[in-house]
Amino acid sequence: MCRSIKTLRPPVLPEEATEDEIRAAALQYVRKVSGFRAPAAHNREVFDRAVDAVAAATAELLAGLEVRGSRAPASR
């Protein structure tokens, strides 16, 4: 994994990940996979779409995760 992508879920991150944090992680992932820090003009559109797709998938993943010990106990 790319060392500059950090864990975005509790308890590693004390609060919910921000949109900027999610987008930064997505950008780092796409850079790593594509091998381009900044794509050429003819690859910009597909690069940006990939960052958007990875960011959306990451936000969906984080929203659906249940971290043990972080939920309030069910009332009886």
Q: What is the pLDDT of residues 59-71, one digit of tens each?
A: 999 999 887 776 5
| Inside any domain, residue 13 | yes
| Inside any domain, residue 72 | no
| Inside any domain, residue 7 | yes
Which range marks the domain in which residue 15 is found? 1-62
- pTM beyond 0.75, yes or no: yes
| Inside any domain, residue 3 | yes
| Inside any domain, residue 29 | yes
With beta carbons less than 8 A apart as the criterion, state whether 54 and 2 touch: no
Q: How many domains does the chain have?
A: 1
Shortest CA distance to 33 belongs to which of 19, 18, 53? 53
Q: What's the mean pLDDT when you consider all of the chain?
A: 86
Low-confidence ranges of the chain (pLDDT < 70): 1-3, 70-76
| Inside any domain, residue 42 | yes
Question: Longest Cα pair distance anywhere in the chain, in angstroms?
Answer: 60
| Inside any domain, residue 8 | yes
